[in-house]
Amino acid sequence: MKEIYHRVKNNLQVISSLLSLQSEYIKDKQDVEIFQKSQQRIASMALIHEKMYRSTDLARINFGEYVQDLVASLCTSYELNEDAIALIFNIDEHILLGLDTALPCGLIIHELVSNALKYAFPEGKKGEIKIEILEYPNKQILLNISDNGIGLPPNFNFNNTASLGWQLVDALATQIDGGINIKNEKGVEFQILFSV
């Protein structure tokens, strides 16, 4: 199993490198951005395989540890100004997830944190992004990503948006049988509750 995780991680890194090389030939700024987002998504999947490879369990990873590494990588990609945006983690330490749940959850976190880093705090506005992952006694997990930024546009409809990122979040939440609840009051809060 370790060898399989290692090979998958290496293959994902090769794909990411190929996208990087290809993006050097693209002139359109928006197209370059699409390639970079794809690279980041692939990197988040490769990180899960790396964690599985290094895990003593081989079937599950410490999800809290993975999330902190994932968010650190995103902050580097988006050149986070730590004086302007604070990251707050509230993650139960004992949450262990298998690959089938960890991959979609990781991609959901990637999309939501990326959106917060990119859009919630325009023009150097200060604020905070909070990542909570809590396990309830009935084997349910609450994934809560929130920020106190500018919020979603007043006419925003999650179900009718053309954005690939929002469509991914919806599809991945469905994949883990999770219900999505969105609050758009003081910033944005996404809650996804699912069973393990």
In the predicted model, is pLDDT for residue 187 greater than 80? yes
pLDDT digits (tens, 9 = 90+) for 45-90: 787 778 777 777 767 888 888 899 889 888 888 887 878 899 999 9
For 23-41, what is the mean pLDDT? Answer: 81
Highest mean pLDDT range out of 13-27, 75-89, 122-136, 158-172? Answer: 122-136
Q: Do residues 170 and 158 touch, judged by C-beta distance below 8 A?
A: yes
Tell whether pTM > 0.85.
no
* pLDDT 10s digits, 132-147: 999 998 889 999 999 9
Q: What is the pLDDT of residue 173?
A: 93
How far apart CA 45 and CA 36 sit, in angstroms, is: 14
